[in-house]
Amino acid sequence: MNYIDKLFKLEGKTALITGGGGVLAGAIGCGLAQAGVKIILADINLEKAVANAGTIIEKSCSAHGIFMDALDPVSIRDACTRILKENDSIDILINAAGGNIPGATISPDKTIFDLNLDDFDRVSDLNYKSTLLPTLEVGRIMARQKSGSIINISSMAAMRTITRVVGYSAAKAAVSNFTRWMAMEMAMKHSGLIRVNAIAPGFFIGDQNRALLTNPDGTPTERGRLVIQNTPMGRFGEADELIGAVLFLASDAASFVTGVILPIDGGFSFHSGV
């Protein structure tokens, strides 16, 4: 095997992907599977996880769709126990469960003082706690293994102010902050071979934001048009454009990379709009 292939080698590793029935998780799972990683797609929506696993299996790669609630420590532990019965280790954790909740947004006819606090808590749990809890369970396993790569999913909403999505933004900012904190903790107290990073996707069409960004005929809504206008590359991202960054962060090619929040955004995060 040549040096570069060895650097990016992931063959034989096992990855747990939460929110595994989702659009981005499906694409990431597909990419990792084609690098020889055994993929476990875990979701509260078992049907969607199994469907994404089916797409991967069609490519003659290894994947399973399982039920797991990323907000329930017992469910997470059960899933990890089942995975470790069939595999020696969990080498990669991708925390992709998440999304927005309409009640935690401030629509143009409302102000921050109309904020629904219950929905604010819900969106916080859906994104932050769903990252924290699997990280604690799998992090403990990786600490025993003395190796592993954890990849969280942050967002542009954690880097820039984006109208309406106040709850989601706060939750993703917490994900970014926890990514750095956990990277420090794992490296200093457990092993320099356990790394924690995040990707921060720009705007990709998923189930959670399709109606917000596109009309039923596929053309961009006014908000979608603003996003494209403020993205120097002038378009939404395609889900499989996340794969390269995930392969890098999961592999030894990133052996000295930890605590990084990597934008994959066509330039949205640095563009002033002017």
Ligand X SMILES: NC(=O)c1ccc[n+]([C@@H]2O[C@H](COP(=O)([O-])OP(=O)(O)OC[C@H]3O[C@@H](n4cnc5c(N)ncnc54)[C@H](O)[C@@H]3O)[C@@H](O)[C@H]2O)c1
Catalytic site includes residue 168: yes
String of b and e for 2-28 (b: at least 16 CB within 10 Å)? Answer: eeeeeeeebeebbbbbbbbbbbbbbbb
Q: Which residues pair with 64 in a beta bridge?
A: 40
Distance CA 154, CA 148 (A): 19
- Least distance CB 96 / ligand X (angstroms): 5
Residue 59: how many other CB atoms lie within 10 Å: 10
Q: What is the DSSP letter of 237?
A: B
Distance CA 271, CA 24 (A): 24
Distance CA 269, CA 271 (A): 6
- Least distance CB 18 / ligand X (angstroms): 5
Q: Which residues pair with 84 in a beta bridge?
A: none
- The one catalytic residue among 19, 52, 53, 168: 168
Distance CA 139, CA 143 (A): 6
Q: Which helix (H) or strand (E) holds 73?
A: helix 73-86
Q: Which residues bind ligand X (CB under 6 A)?
A: 18-19, 21-25, 43-45, 48, 68-71, 96-99, 126-127, 130, 153, 155, 201, 203-204, 206-209
Contact predicate 92/148, CB 8 Å: yes
Distance CA 164, CA 87 (A): 43
**Hey, what are 41's tokens?**
């797609």
With tokens 């999304």, the residue in question is 99
| Closer to ligand X by Cβ: residue 7 or 260 | 260
| Closer to ligand X by Cβ: residue 149 or 168 | 168
| Closer to ligand X by Cβ: residue 58 or 207 | 207
Catalytic residues, which ones?
168
